[in-house]
Amino acid sequence: MHNLTLAEIARNLAEKRFSAEELTRTTLARIEQLDPQLNAFISVTDELAIEQAKAADARRAAGENGVLLGAPIGHKDLFCTQGIRTSCGSKILDNFKAPYNATVVERLAAAGTVTLGKLNMDEFAMGSANESSYYGPVKNPWDLTRVPGGSSGGSAAAIAARLLPAATGTDTGGSIRQPAALTNLTGLKPTYGRVSRWGMVAYASSLDQGGPMARTAEDCALLLSAMAGFDAKDSTSVDQPLDDYLAALSQPLAGLRIGLPKEYFSAGLDPKIADAVMASVEELKKLGATVTEISLPNMQHAIPSYYVIAPAEASSNLSRFDGVRFGYRCENPVDLTDLYKRSRAEGFGDEVKRRIMVGTYALSAGYYDAYYLKAQKIRRLIKQDFVAAFEQVDVILGPTTPNLAWKLGEKNADPVSAYLEDIYTITANLAGIPGLSMPAGFIDGLPVGVQLLAPYFQEARLLNVAHQYQQVTDWHMRAPAGF
């Protein structure tokens, strides 16, 4: 059962080969048996899962047949779940039980999904290795001595190890696509505004976007269809009708114009990854795509501008965690200032503190123009690069990451080396365009991801290209040994 995709589960449930409750109990047993090796779950919500599974079976018995009815999923632990711990991977929210459900959680529950748990993540989604979590690092099922990527590393590890067929993630600067690449998954960051951010603990509000992670593009299409859409509770949600993501999957690729940005293949990219990416291009050509070299000249400024904008927004967003209203409070404060200071000093981890300091500095009087404003101007240039490129091509293709999954602890001494892992992914966040990572091969037993980028609101196109590629390749079907 554990190797089934969401689409296959839907067929089996419809044919009554097993019930949602049976599937849920089997999945819970597998999580209990195997998760200790991975640390992918912060909370396993077994009672809720059984309750939701029974409800899904009852809805099916009453004649409903939604594709996600009874589908097991997990949520990254920054989506608020009513009455259930929503920790954001941080000590400061370790005791926080959300009083309401995030829109994404609410919509997926209404579609009949069964929530098996809340998934580990980098603290406040800050990281690319899932090592900054208060609950300890997550291990990559392809090699337990390596990182799964981050910040949605728990979601990635759980799906790759077949503990779940699919999960939610969020992507502020690559956090869905980079862990998907490092664990052999398909992960989609939708256009900014396509998926509601209401009830998602905010990191960098102008960049954060929730999205699906699964093994196949088809499963991502199934999840996105339920997650996405206008939400009046999120002021940046865009009121535009959803495309039919499932119908789009079967479009032939004949005539598809692919752009390869020369900046994505320059120094810094592992040459073996470059070879795997070019092999995927050859497959797409066989499906009728044409290929042109393009340029995204401002890409080199993406990391510096992201690491001003994201910490600046984080320093503002995280000011609400003060020991008074939410979460952790220090013991025996002598006065209010002491309460603030010690609650935050004891509650936040090192990476979060580093970013709060950088962000506060960048926003402080006298430095705002030099850093934040300049970074915003660069952001505009990056967006214009994409707009110009998409006049020539339909999708942009390149590596998702410059390296394969690295050893746990390897980049801890030098945070900037981890920041550089986001080099190919964060431009999509800065511009707000959608991006997808799909499995494209292995090097020394470790997965390689290929990234596809498309114009605003063309998630259907990304899913279509990935699905067609997955019809002629089987990388996405490979499972790690031992899982």
Ligand X SMILES: NC(=O)C[C@H](N)C(=O)O
Q: Residues interacting with ligand X, by CB under 6 A?
A: 125-128, 151, 171-175, 310, 422
Query: At its nearest, how many Å lie between ligand X and the CB of residue 44?
Result: 24
On whether the CB atoms of residues 172 and 127 are closer than 8 A, the answer is: no
Query: At its nearest, how many Å lie between ligand X and the CB of residue 373?
Result: 20
**Position 193: which residue type?**
G
Tokens describing residue 349: 């981890």
On whether the CB atoms of residues 408 and 139 are closer than 8 A, the answer is: yes
Residues 6+ apart with CB under 8 A from 416: none
Q: Based on the residue annotation, tell me whether 133 is a catalytic residue of this protein.
A: no
Q: For residues 172 and 315, which CB has a smaller minimum distance to ligand X in the complex?
A: 172
Q: Which residue in the list 87, 151, 155, 315 is annotated as catalytic? A: 151
Q: Based on the residue annotation, tell me whether 262 is a catalytic residue of this protein.
A: no
On whether the CB atoms of residues 207 and 312 are closer than 8 A, the answer is: no
Q: Which residue in the list 155, 175, 280, 305 is annotated as catalytic? A: 175
Burial tier of 82 (Cβ tally within 10 Å: 0-12, 13-18, 19+): middle
Query: At its nearest, how many Å lie between ligand X and the CB of residue 152?
Result: 8
Nearest one of 397, 445, 454 to 283, comparing CA atoms: 397
Q: For residues 131 and 422, which CB has a smaller minimum distance to ligand X in the complex?
A: 422
Position with the least CB separation from ligand X: 175
Q: For residues 19 and 132, which CB has a smaller minimum distance to ligand X in the complex?
A: 132
On whether the CB atoms of residues 191 and 433 are closer than 8 A, the answer is: yes
Query: At its nearest, how many Å lie between ligand X and the CB of residue 442?
Result: 23
Q: What CA–CA distance (Å, rounded) separates 391 from 254?
A: 18
Query: At its nearest, how many Å lie between ligand X and the CB of residue 354?
Result: 11
Pairing outcome for strands 395-399 and 446-453: antiparallel
**Position 67: which residue type?**
V
Q: For residues 13 and 303, which CB has a smaller minimum distance to ligand X in the complex?
A: 303
Q: How many residues does the chain have?
A: 483
Q: Based on the residue annotation, tell me whether 91 is a catalytic residue of this protein.
A: no
> What is the DSSP code (8-state) at residue 246?
H
Spell out where 278-327 has E strands: 290-294
Query: At its nearest, how many Å lie between ligand X and the CB of residue 420?
Result: 10
Tokens describing residue 250: 């079967």
Tokens describing residue 376: 């915003």
Q: Which residue in the list 19, 43, 76, 152 is annotated as catalytic? A: 76
Q: For residues 199 and 441, which CB has a smaller minimum distance to ligand X in the complex?
A: 199
Q: For residues 124 and 456, which CB has a smaller minimum distance to ligand X in the complex?
A: 124
What positions carry a catalytic annotation?
A: 76, 151, 175
